Amino acid sequence: MDFSFTEEQQALAEKVRAFAEDTVARHAALDDRERTFWSGFFAELGRAGLTGLMIAEELGGSGLGAVEAGIAVEQLARVEATACYPVVNAALIGGIIGRSGTTSQRADWLPAVAAGDAVVALVLTEPDHGTDAAAIELSAERDGDGWVLTGTKTSIMLGMHATHGLVFARTSDDGARGVTAFYLPLNRDGIARERLDDLGVRAGGRATLRFAGVRASDDEIVGGVGEGFGGVMRGFDHSRALIAVLAIANAQAALDDALEHARERETFGQVIGKHQGVAFPLVEHATRLHAARLLAFEALWRADSGLDHRTEANMAKWWACRIGVEAAHQALLTLGHRGWHDDHPASRRVRDAIGQEIADGTENATKLVVARKLLGREYAP
């Protein structure tokens, strides 16, 4: 059993760390305040290879695996967690198109995703349907040789930035089997966007998208009519592990700041790290984050090995995101008034951590997947 990265994986980690520290870090605070990414951000992600990690080399990507995607997300999130969402979306949506798209769809769409020219959003959640995604109501009605989409999506991460979206629409009344995925340009006539003002992940441009008679063709359907829901659920099996890695790295960065502060800050004639009330909570959170990291990377390794990884990915998602919030909170408390100020990244990391609990499936949604796996569907909620 070997828990270390290969030389190639370590080189990738060092490359992404350098990119994050040299290119991303200096924009993070301003992006958070201005609620948008800096001009050129997506192009830089593409040039760094971060939007093509899991896309095949012949389609412009790097052809890497889920573990490598986790390594890249980890290094990027330690500097700026919100910058990871385009990377996770490209891996998730690129994977769905790679598995379910036709040869021509893959050739037409994936090179632009890999290059960072196409910024992609998962357009799934609706005002009344989040966790119950199979109950979506945005309709796609047959009209001649195409389709007309009508309805509203909300809580769409990157919704204000995305050039393209994988849009899930109801094409029949047959429950989950009545949901179809369309890959559409989001500048198409009839699509209106509204920014949502959020507690955290502010640069991510989460948005409401309204579709008013938007036309789509059969060539824009991914995976066939009525096959969209299964495709995205299979994609979540490893994207949830990536969100777990993101949450762990965000919290670890906050904890590292707190540890440094504990070595330097003096009270009552000694550094505060000497006080058990300061040191022991940091030890507890470091332990939990370490364990969650191992679980998340096990899920990614299992994905690359062709093994069932649903249990591990969903365990990692709910647990890492919960303890990520707790660890980031403890880091802020350790930093005291310094961490409470917006000039310190601790406050941003706490706010962003809360959003990670919601992204890609809530705690209860992921526990449901695990319960059904452990107990069997007939004995589980």
Give per-residue pLDDT as tens, 143-195.
999 999 999 999 999 999 999 999 999 999 888 889 999 999 999 999 999 99
Give me 290's structure tokens: 């370490």
Q: Contact, 164 vs 316, CB < 8 A? A: no
Cα(299)–Cα(316) distance, integer angstroms:
8
Is a pLDDT exceeding 80 seen at residue 346?
Answer: yes
Determine the pLDDT at residue 208: 98
The pLDDT tens digits of the residues spanning 301-337 come to: 999 999 999 999 999 999 999 999 999 999 999 999 9
What DSSP assignment string belongs to 37-55? PPTTHHHHHHHTTTTSTTS
pTM for the full predicted model: 0.95
The CA-based angle 221-128-204, given to 5 degrees, is: 70
Determine the pLDDT at residue 105: 97
> Distance from first CA to last CA of the chain, Å, rounded?
35
**Contacts by 300-303, CB closer than 8 A, 24 or more apart:** 300/65, 300/66, 300/67, 300/69, 300/70, 300/238, 300/241, 300/242, 300/245, 301/66, 301/67, 303/65, 303/66, 303/237, 303/238, 303/241
Cα(152)–Cα(209) distance, integer angstroms:
6
Considering only 57-71, 130-144, 225-239, 288-302, which range has the smallest mean pLDDT? 225-239
Q: How many CB atoms lie within 10 A of CB 125?
A: 20
Give me 341's structure tokens: 């100020």
Where are the extended beta strands (E) located within 93-240? 120-123, 139-143, 146-156, 164-170, 179-185, 191-195, 207-217, 221-222
The CA-based angle 237-75-90, given to 5 degrees, is: 45
139 pLDDT tier (thresholds 50, 70, 90): very high
Q: What is the CA radius of gyration of the chain?
A: 21
Separation in Å, CA 371 to CA 187, 315, 364, 368, 379: 41, 10, 10, 5, 9
Give me 63's structure tokens: 């052809």
Give me 237's structure tokens: 């099996």
Give me 307's structure tokens: 């093994």
Chain-centre distance for alpha carbon 280: 31
Separation in Å, CA 133 to CA 51, 139, 153, 286: 26, 14, 11, 35
Strands 191-195 and 266-267: unpaired
Residue 101's H or E segment, with its range, is: none
